[in-house]
Amino acid sequence: MTNTRPNFVRNCWYVAGWDYEFTAGKPHPRTFLAEPVVFYRKGDGTLVAMADRCVHRLAPLSLGRLEGDDIRCMYHGMRFTADGKCVEIPGQDMIPSSACIQTYPVVEKGSWAWIWMGDPHLADAALLPDARGLDDPVWVLKSGQLDYAAPHELINDNLLDLSHLAYVHVASFGATPGWITQQPRTTQIERGVRVERWVESAPPLPPLPSLAAYESVDMWASYEFLIPGVFLMYTSLHPPGTAKGSNHAAPAGDVLFSNFTCQAVTPLTAGSSRYFFSWGPGSQFGGEEIAQQMIDVAMAAFLEDKLIIEAQARIIAMSPGEKIMPNAADRTVTIFQRMMERMKHPASTSS
């Protein structure tokens, strides 16, 4: 049979959702990488994922019924175990060995549920990105998600080039031109890139009493962007002059405020994506109220991204054959895109 599946990186962990989405007692249908997937919890709480497609006549198992740790297709009643094996065909004694549903490795770690949609033998929990959970004691994190009518690659590109803050996020983040005039330092790391930069003369936000004495601050922003689209960013605010005093290397000395954000992009189909995010202050700098303010501002910013990225996707769809013209800010985008291409074609030796 011809493989007509869209060309996704498969041997990696994708975020399937927040653990709180997958409530016990019912199947949860999803579409990831253009494949129908059903999730449910076994009696002991373990999350399982399998193709949302009965082997009989391809009806969705998510319209089925949980029976203990099994799921029964509610079209003609075939019953499957959590490892996808058919154990009952009503009206028939013989169960063919081929009556199996494809299952996917799933791991829940720190509030995030991850799914591996490639070769299950390569699924390795050691490859999970270090996305912090909502109960992480170091940070006070709030969470959210947004669906995009745009390919996941365009959202990855956006997160790999934060120069867009200077234009897209002036209203939400109060971003200054420093995001585009001060070039970041990019380092290739295992399964991704690290991007570090100072933004000098940044506004002292959020409006905290501890920042009120400053007209502006120096902001250090350091993030990792990991295969297939996981963004982990640490940001800290420092007294003016810290960037120059550190020779624009990683900061040492007083931290006025810090925050952390985890974001992840998962393709739903070739042209649609789900964007998961958390954000919040270091626990010594703020509690629930500051965290809520930050996630509200982040949501406003992410809607700014969604507006331009979905519009960009529509233009690209109408522009077959048109090529992009990379500029200096695209260096990190290009490095990461090459890593993704190599993972789609692991046998390739081209750079």
Kindly list the residues in this chain that would bind ligand FES in the complex (CB under 6 A): 54, 56-57, 59, 73, 75-78
CA distances from 129 to 110, 191, 262, 263 (A): 11, 10, 10, 11
Contact 150, 272 (CB under 8 A): yes
Residues in the chain: 351
Nearer to ligand FES, 54 or 219 (CB): 54
CA angle, 251 then 255 then 260, to 5°: 90
Q: 305 touches which of Fe ion, ligand FES, none (CB within 5 to 8 A by kind)?
A: Fe ion
Do β-strands 70-72 and 230-238 pair in parallel, antiparallel, or remain unpaired?
Answer: unpaired
Min CB(170)–Fe ion separation in Å: 11
Could you give the string, one character per residue 303-342, with x where binding to Fe ion holds by CB under 5 A and - elsewhere? --x-------------------------------------
203 CB-near residues (< 8 Å, 6+ apart): 174, 176, 216, 217
Phi/psi of residue 179, nearest 5 degrees: -65, -20
Min CB(302)–Fe ion separation in Å: 7
Q: 162 touches which of ligand FES, Fe ion, none (CB within 5 to 8 A by kind)?
A: none
CA angle, 189 then 341 then 223, to 5°: 30
Min CB(5)–ligand FES separation in Å: 22
- The amino acid that residue 275 corresponds to is Y
Nearer to ligand FES, 76 or 314 (CB): 76
Stretch that binds Fe ion, among 202-210, 276-284, 300-308, 331-339 (CB under 5 A): 300-308
Min CB(26)–ligand FES separation in Å: 18
Q: 141 touches which of ligand FES, Fe ion, none (CB within 5 to 8 A by kind)?
A: none
